[in-house]
Structure 1
Amino acid sequence: LAGRVYAYRVVGQRGLELLDVELGTRKDLTQLGSHMHVWRRQGGGAGPLILLGSPSEHSYSSSKWGMMAAAAAGEAPERGWQAGEVRVMDPAAWGGRQVGGGEELAGLVRILSGMQSPGHFGRGLASSTATGDVWIGEPFGGGEAGRVYRWSADAAEPQCFGMADGGHARLGQTIRAASGAGVELLAVSAPHDSQFSRLAGSVLLMHSRAEPS
């Protein structure tokens, strides 16, 4: 479950060509590549970046202890356990085969790290066409209540944008951004929300231009 990502080039209308690029990590149980998103940045002719989520990756920069017990030992998990990370990659730098992790990956622009164990930061990924911001879900944050973070390229760290009001809703499992008539909304899933019926789930619509909570 370490995860691996391969790159293809579209040839013609239906063909695919496998590039000599392989992105991996030396860590175990990261689920690297299980969640990916193409971030089409705004202005300045900037090319797209690729967000690679690894929601169960151990985050060594995490600063909070876990909310759940480790499955095997029945003890509190070590700091950063399954906190999750998001790698921001520039595909323009993929000139050859790359195997490894961390800063060894060609085209690595930034690593965004989850701050809670086991938050699963990076399970939901989306970007805004109106503001150019990136949206990141952390469905296990806050004791499985769930959080949504907002990040822009000029920000030091992602900021919490919204969170569920208690319970085990797992807000941020998936995120989609949609715009029309000058308004952009985020559709954020909370698959375990029980406000209407136990574990029935719900989808929240959030204004992307609102102030972070």
Structure 2
Amino acid sequence: MDLSTLRVDFPLIAGRPDLVYLDSAATSQKPRRVIESLKRFYETLNANVHRGAYRLSAEATEAYEEARKRLARFLNANPQEIVFVRNTTEAMNLVAYAWGLRNLKEGDEVLVTEMEHHAGLVPWHLVAGLTGARIRAIPLTEEGRLDLSALDTLLTERVKVVSVVHMSNVLGTINPVAEIARRAKEVGALVVVDGAQSAPHLPVNVKALGADFFALSGHKMLGPTGAGVL
């Protein structure tokens, strides 16, 4: 890979050979074609989506739905399963509040991990406080991996949700989500996956993972800020 050629694709760093950007796990830089696509939309397609019968609105709607189809192909999902949100945090909150408040009750358990991002912890703790559910966590080994042997005692029929980060933003650990999901389904639990870090770096197949919900942020994977997917 010719890194000097790669840098040319990114306007912010193209003219700054002294700049080494190492914060993509928080926010990635945007390649020229993404910036140009945004500019092209506002210059040629900007109109209400799904709320107009005139030609420009229809063209904007078509572009919007094509984005949905592309994300579905990217994740091996169905287009009707794609919900646009602002980011992973909003997606995780949406699941916790829209599903959790309606379905969790006292005595139920939500299983998380000790390496979750705050977005994968705080919503469940708040919803647990409102519903009487209990939060339990899969512990870590000294090597920074999940101690899957703990699942033997943690995964009971009281567990209604397993919320797990696919790739840790702190440790870089890639968790065996498919295995965890398989065991979660054996006790009837839903599986929520924080894919904010995995989607930019790994091939993601939500069906193979066994994810009931999978969340990602566009701004971590070369896309614009304020565009995410559940």
Q: TM-score, normalised by structure 1?
A: 0.25
Larger helix share, 1 or 2: 2
Larger strand share, 1 or 2: 1
Q: Which is greater in Rg?
A: 2
Higher normalized contact order (CA 8 Å, seq sep 6+, divided by chain length): 2
